[in-house]
Structure 1
């Protein structure tokens, strides 16, 4: 089981692009995923289904680890209605999502969350790197196109001797 968890954690952290700092949250999320996935040893049933006795077919609460999430804030009328966080899994003590607020450097638990799974933090960084590389390549291509091309021409005159190495008479 340790190998299975560590393989999932390695993939989760790599996909999220957030580094090893959140390994504890990733391993908790991986163990929760294993509980919700069907296992051949249980005749295709989920461990959660075997344990609780109720079928678990509702996957709408599963989200991509590390995706952007906006949780609802109830402060004053002039404050923003939501704050930007990263999805870190599910709360074990109350019904809600466990979120990492990087601005405040703390975890938040909320059930009123909007997920943006198409917009991942590491994808933005990767896309920025690709764009920078394309810009560098295109500027190099422009520089190469501006250099003049001079054809090399060898002139052979009639006064040049022709040497034939096969004649040894």
Structure 2
């Protein structure tokens, strides 16, 4: 068997988690795709060389992808489902249809219309993301009180609290620490005498 067919079939099986028992379907789909890939020598696809026209690639679908196969009107009643869950297996030669696997019965069906959910991952067939709507206790960010001579600005962006602190320049009188108690008392008396205008005038 051609190595390219085997490699492509293996990748398709493992990509979607398909069982190895469907290897024949994977190989057939690989051959169908390779026949529509341009050749490096002729710069044409095998189908173009044989049929003298470029192949249509609008019906390309992901092997093993989950989807819905349409049920014809003549095969169902009014209240029956119009589609069945399936996996895409490949293309049917000679007819306009697709080979799909019915996930409920395990049978291979040929359908003309199939809606393939190519973006749906394996095991998550048309399911919605479950979200926990319960209230959760979220601890508030701890912000320390600003010290004297500082201001705080809280900026909330993308659920993050950014603490910006900057010092405010203020004019303060710096008095050196006294070196002796006697000097402290004398300086204190001097300040009181000079800062009290009534006592200064009386004296």
TM-score over 0.5 for the alignment? yes
Structure 2 portions without partners, runs of 5+ = 126-203
Alignment partner, residue 107 of structure 2: 106
Q: Deviations over 1:8-35 (max 9, x none)?
A: 1111111111121110000000000000
TM-align CA RMSD:
1.8
Q: Which has the higher helix share?
A: 1
**Aligned mate of 1:65, from 60, 63, 71:** 63
Alignment partner, residue 46 of structure 2: 47
Post-superposition shift, 1:5?
A: 0.8
Residue 89 of structure 2 is aligned to residue 85 of structure 1: no
Higher RCO (C-alpha under 8 Å, 6+ residues apart)? 1
Distance 2:102 2:22 in 1: 13
Q: Deviations over 1:131-154 (max 9, x none)?
A: xxxxxxxxxxxxxxxxxxxxxxxx
Distance 1:20 1:27 in 2: 11
Distance 2:93 2:118 in 1: 22
Q: Deviations over 1:35-57 (max 9, x none)?
A: 01111122x1110001100122x
Give the count of matched residue pairs: 123
Q: Deviations over 1:48-79 (max 9, x none)?
A: 001100122x3211100000121111301111
Please give the TM-score of this superposition, normalised by the length of structure 1. 0.68
Alignment partner, residue 156 of structure 1: none
Post-superposition shift, 1:93?
A: 4.0
Alignment partner, residue 18 of structure 1: 18
Residue 105 of structure 2 aligns to a residue whose secondary structure is: coil
- Deviating above 6 A after TM superposition, structure 1's stretches of 4 or more consecutive aligned residues are none
Cα pair 1:69 1:115 within 8 Å, conserved: yes
Distance 1:41 1:84 in 2: 42
Is 21-30 or 91-100 further displaced after alignment?
Answer: 91-100
